Structure 1
Amino acid sequence: MDPDAVDGVERVEHGGKTGVLDFSANTNPESPEGVAEVYQSALGAARSYPQDPPAAFCEAAADYVDCASNAVVPTPGGLAGMRLAMEVSLQSGDSVLLPAPSFGEYSREVRLQGATPVFVDHDAILDADPSEHAMVIICHPNNPTGEVYDDTALRAFAARCRDHDTVLLVDEAFLDFTDHPSLAGENGVVVARSLTKMFGLPGIRAGFLAATGTTRERLGIARQTWNLGAPAVAVGEYCMGRREFVEQTRQRVRTERERLTTELGEQFDVFDSDAPFLLLDVGERSVDRVLEATRAEGIAVRDARTFRGLDSHIRVAVRLPSENDRLCEVLGDV
Structure 2
Amino acid sequence: GWIRDGEWLLYTLDVQEAGRYTMTARAASPNSGRSATVSVNADPAYTHTLNLPNTGSFSRFTTVVVDDVTLPAGSVTLRLTFHGDGENLDWFAFAPSQPGPEPFEIPGTIQAEDYVPGGEGVGYHDTTPGNSGGAYRSDDVDIETAGGVTNVGWIRNGEWLHYTTTVANAGTYTMTARVASPNSGRTIAVLVDGAQAATIAVPNTGSFATFRTVQVPVTLSVGSHTLKLTFQGDGQNLDWIAFAVGGTTPPTPEPSAGASFVAVPATAPHGSAVKFTVTPAAGKAIRSAWWSFDAPAHLNTWNSRAVNPTFYYPARGTFSPLVKLTYTDGSSETVQRAGYVTAT
TM-score by length of 2: 0.30
Structure with the higher helix share, 1 or 2: 1
TM-score by length of 1: 0.31
Higher Rg: 2
Which structure's relative contact order is higher, taking Cα pairs within 8 Å and 6+ residues apart? 1
